[in-house]
Amino acid sequence: MRLDEETEIPRERIKGPLDLESTLMSGQTGEPQWDLESGYYADVDEFSGKAAKYRVRQAGTTDEPHLKITITSEDGHPGLAEAVTDHIVRVLRLQDDLNAFYDAFDPSKGDIISKTFGPLRGLRLMQGNNPFESLISSISTQHNSIVLWTKSMKLVRNLYGRAARLSDGSTIHLFPSPEALASTSVQELENTGVTYRAKYMIEAARRVRDRELDLEDLRNQDYEKAKERLMDLPGIGPKVADCFLLYGLGKTEAAPVDIWIHRIVRKLYFEGASVSTEKVARFLRERYRSWAGYAQLYLFHYVRMTRLM
């Protein structure tokens, strides 16, 4: 099988509806948005040490989705196609049973969130490429905009990440390792556009490099404990910690509370009463449990889409 030919992700690996475009354009993970290249959405990553660019497009419909992919790699190896497929299934969370979410809070249950299910049908939560990239990207989102953090995180890839020459002659850059990022100077990193967040990123990279913080180990800890550990880091507060737990580790009970979610939940669930962000976060966790991350995603996009607030 030639990898640069279009193949399809096995249909049975997509559970429930999918709207690829709204999912990829929703700016959830803090990582750069995927590039749009002649009808495909493209991103890059490393698979068993080999860099590859994968492109994805949706065929079919939201309720009968098919995903077509092509792969261009640095150096093809046996199993690459399977590894890339697994990666896409993971980052797009294609195994999440979206209909189970819709059913659990359908209109008959009287939950106001059911109003968002129609307009946002097929919108999926995403996963970051890997925990370290997710951590740094999450830091980049604080008091920032999607345009700016996409720009600066791409620049971080291009300046400090390993360059790889693909079989089609193009060059891509991977996200830098903790070692590479930890050894940059604050001033240099600030110039990528991350500005004052540079010192936070470098310290985070240093702690990961020096094994003072083991991101994989956080996966095994419970939500509260892991959040505490993360908030030990400078520049990581409750919202960024939740972003990492959700996008970096896939803890879907995490519901990052930013200014929008804070306003929305206060209005829709607390009759406008002044409720702290921590209380809102706890409320979403307890109400939506393992669907809290999805609830956050749907509330956020519904409100911004309808310009409700």
Nearer to DNA, 25 or 104 (CB): 25
Residue 238, token pair as written in the block: 């409750």
**Using CB atoms within 10 A of its CB, is residue 39 exposed (0-12), middle (13-18) or buried (19+)?**
exposed
- Cβ at position 109, least distance to DNA in Å: 24
Nearer to DNA, 72 or 127 (CB): 127
Nearer to DNA, 72 or 152 (CB): 152
The site for DNA (CB under 7 A) is made up of: 26-28, 141-148, 151, 190, 193, 195-196, 231, 233-241, 256, 258-261, 274, 276, 296-297, 300
Nearer to DNA, 133 or 258 (CB): 258
- Cβ at position 19, least distance to DNA in Å: 15
**Rounded distance between C-alpha atoms, residue 59 and residue 67, angstroms:** 6
- Cβ at position 28, least distance to DNA in Å: 5
Q: Are 62 and 17 in contact (CB under 8 A)?
A: yes
Nearer to DNA, 70 or 277 (CB): 277
Classify strands 163-165 and 65-73 as parallel, antiparallel or unpaired. unpaired
- Cβ at position 285, least distance to DNA in Å: 14
Nearer to DNA, 164 or 243 (CB): 243
- Cβ at position 297, least distance to DNA in Å: 7
- Cβ at position 264, least distance to DNA in Å: 11
